[in-house]
Amino acid sequence: MPTMTDERNFRSSYYEKVGCRGVEEKKSLEILMKEKPWDRVKLKHFCLRFTVPAAYRKLVWKVLLDILPVFPDSHQFVAEQRTDQYNDLLYAVESLEMVDMKAPRAEILMAMWLLELEELKPPKFPETNYYSADTFLPIANTLLQLYDDEVDAYWLCKSLTEIVRSMQKDLHKLKEAFHTMLEKEDQELYNHLVEIKALEVLPLTKWFNCCFAGVLDDTSLTKIWDKIFSGAPKILSFVAVMLVATLRRNILKATTEDEVLKCVSEIPEQCEEVVANKAIELWQYYAQPQNDQLVKK
């Protein structure tokens, strides 16, 4: 007999397939965007509950991250200022020969970021000793693939890297949440990983610190990043759970740590969006009450 959760997920999936849900969400967001000024709390609430329509995503992200102000009449002026800053930094790194201008674009963006930080090389996050370059570069590569505008890619990458830096102190909590949730959702898989001593070799730190950039495809990532930009980095734990659970058949066949690592590094393309969608469903089921409280504060 289907559970209430099954019924909810079926109904949600059906609405998405026939296009009803997306239309209603778009209308709801457009109403919020007509307010002057925009209400960031309401925007966060929307992003926590729904997937942001692709046509508005970049704009909503920039307002949530304070790259653009909440006053829509000022967007063009501030965007021009951001572009000027970008061009000044680009000119400076080229003049100072801080980077080979024929290098991949993500490396050039990182050189600009380092100039702003007044650093010669990417610093480590002090709480975890993790190289910030391993956060900045995959995120920059993803954003450059998502958006043609390198100015937007730079500012969004800077903001997401700062979010990752600020969550270093809570990284152990994300890992603990992963372990707890995996055991709860799939005890057989959890016990197998413990038995072959592979649980601790899962690249959780890497996954969390790049927000799955370079791990999942761009379309799947944007849905996850909607939540992160809205103040809910805990969703990363749920993505990790669903990634491992989706690959359970191959992982259960693995008998060594290396075989498990190979499994999680070879994600079938058709699985990536499934991972994102199921992770969001699981996160909303368990975490939505806390998110509502967070937004109301």
Residue 253 belongs to some domain of the structure: yes
SS3 state at 255: coil
CATH number of residue 227's parent domain: 1.10.472.80
Residue span of the structural domain in which 167 resides: 30-296
- Count the domains in the chain: 1
Across the chain, which distance is largest between two alpha carbons, in Å? 68
In whole angstroms, give the CA distance from residue 65 to residue 57. Answer: 12
What pLDDT score does 21 carry?
54
Residue 70 belongs to some domain of the structure: yes
Asked if 160 and 211 count as a contact pair (C-beta separation under 8 A), the reply is yes
Phi, psi for 125 (deg, rounded to 5): -70, 120
What pLDDT score does 24 carry?
81
98: CB partners within 8 A, 6+ apart: 92, 111, 114, 115
* 50 DSSP assignment: S
- Residue 241: Cβ within 10 Å count: 27
What pLDDT score does 228 carry?
97
Residue 241 belongs to some domain of the structure: yes
Residue 21 belongs to some domain of the structure: no
Residue 15 belongs to some domain of the structure: no
3-state secondary structure 168-180: HHHHHHHHHHHHH
Residue 78 belongs to some domain of the structure: yes
Residue 88 belongs to some domain of the structure: yes
142: CB partners within 8 A, 6+ apart: 213, 214, 218, 221
Residues of the chain with pLDDT under 70: 1-22, 288-297
In whole angstroms, give the CA distance from residue 210 to residue 205. Answer: 9
Q: Mean pLDDT score of the chain, rounded to an integer?
A: 90
Residue 5 belongs to some domain of the structure: no
In whole angstroms, give the CA distance from residue 292 to residue 297. Answer: 9
